[in-house]
Amino acid sequence: QVQLVESGGGLVQPGGSLRLSCAGSATMISRYTMNWYRQAPGNQRELVASITTTGNTNYAESVKGRFSISRDSTKPIVILQMNSLNPEDTAVYYCNAVSLLRQYWGQGTQVTVSS
């Protein structure tokens, strides 16, 4: 059974940082496009950041300059480093792996930004 497991969520004050990790198989982490999505209450799920198999990255406009996605194929994990967090970043964050034929999701991790 394919698994993606997120970790690192929690409660943080505005301006703070969190580091989310997504653990999966070595094959998946290195050979799939890996994405982070988020979904806030009442909102649609939105794409936050992506990293392709060649290392190209893309970010939603709302997080550019604050979030950074990377992969460590030796562990194997995908990381979302989130800095300068604000209350609008509060959501459940989901890890997603995509290939030409398949797509997998993690169970999500809650991020809450509040004073």
Mean pLDDT (the chain) is 95
Quickly state the pLDDT bin for 73 (edges 50, 70, 90).
confident
Check whether 51 has a pLDDT greater than 90.
Answer: yes
Quickly state the pLDDT bin for 34 (edges 50, 70, 90).
very high
Residues 49, 52, 10, 1, CA torsion sign: positive
Question: Alpha carbon 90 to chain centroid distance?
Answer: 13
Quickly state the pLDDT bin for 1 (edges 50, 70, 90).
low
Query: Once rounded to an integer, what is the mean pLDDT over residues 46-68?
Result: 97
- Which positions ≥6 away from 94 have C-beta within 8 Å? 6, 36, 37, 38, 39, 45, 105, 106, 107, 108
Please give the residue that has the higher pLDDT: either 51 or 27: 51
